[in-house]
Amino acid sequence: DGGITQSPKYLFRKEGQNVTLSCEQNLNHDAMYWYRQDPGQGLRLIYYSQIVNDFQKGDIAEGYSVSREKKESFPLTVTSAQKNPTAFYLCASSRREGGNQPQHFGDGTRLSIL
Amino acid sequence: RKEVEQDPGPFNVPEGATVAFNCTYSNSASQSFFWYRQDCRKEPKLLMSVYSSGNEDGRFTAQLNRASQYISLLIRDSKLSDSATYLCVVNLNSGYSTLTFGKGTMLLVSP
């Protein structure tokens, strides 16, 4: 079955540590996205990528980094510069053409500070 | 003004009831619209796209009113399994990177 796989499901970060969240899709989608969701809040865009080897900052990119070396993979690193990393992180993908394509989500990673 | 606004609820309804949610958006240039459903501690899942002419999928009907800049979702014959948070999502232009999510409306269907 085609889909988006995020791992791990739960992740704990120590002070000063960088952690990397994995996102893999086999939907053959060009575009991929990372969002953060805090309790009672809407999804906020961290980074997005329209094509391999290209990505852009979203609304809250500070303290995060990404790479897009392969079409199917878009890992997110939460760096030590992100002072409030506790949140639900969601990866999504969509077809590239046009703005009327919905995004499809992985099942998320919950990140907490130890 | 917030870009996408929804009543957070919760809407408490009995099984079999009809319930409607509205969502307003601020950018009149918005191009496409969606409703997503999110269960507690799960990822959002696409419920339906919203077309200018309105569209229906089983018990669910979505409407778009561009003049008043709102979209609506009507759920008929509510089931217990409809209990979830419903997210209104707007694409501000034809680019695929500009989805804006509302905070969601919570629906609780009781026996």
pLDDT digits (tens, 9 = 90+) for A31-70: 999 999 998 888 999 999 989 999 999 999 999 999 999 9
What are the two backbone dihedrals, phi and then psi, of residue A81, each rounded to the nearest 5 degrees? -75, -15
Q: Residue A42 is nearest to which of B42, B94, B102, comparing CB atoms?
A: B102
Q: Is B97 on the interface with A (CB under 8 A)?
A: yes
Nearest to A40 among B87, B93, B103 (CB): B103
**Using a CB-CB distance cutoff of 8 angstroms, which residues of chain A are in contact with residue B4?**
42
Question: How many whole angstroms separate alpha carbon B81 and alpha carbon A50?
Answer: 35
d(CA A86, CA B43): 17
What's the whole-number mean pLDDT along residues B82-93?
91
Write out residues 35-94 of B within 8 Å (CB-CB) of A. Answer: 41-46, 49, 87, 89, 91, 93-94
CB B50 within 8 A of CB B35: yes
**Residue B86, token pair as written in the block:** 């419903």
Q: Are B50 and A100 in contact (CB under 8 A)?
A: no
Residue with more model confidence, B53 or A108: A108
Contact B31 A43 (CB under 8 A): no
pLDDT-wise least confident of A58-62, A98-102, B77-81, B99-103: A98-102
Contacts of residue A105 in chain B, CB cutoff 8 Å?
43-45
**Quick one: how far is CA A40 from the chain centroid?**
19
β-pairing verdict for A54-57 and A31-37:
unpaired
CB B86 within 8 A of CB B78: no
Q: Is B5 on the interface with A (CB under 8 A)?
A: no
User: E-strand spans in chain A?
Assistant: 4-7, 10-13, 19-25, 31-37, 43-51, 54-57, 64-66, 76-78, 87-94, 104-105, 109-113
Does the pLDDT at position A99 exceed 70? no
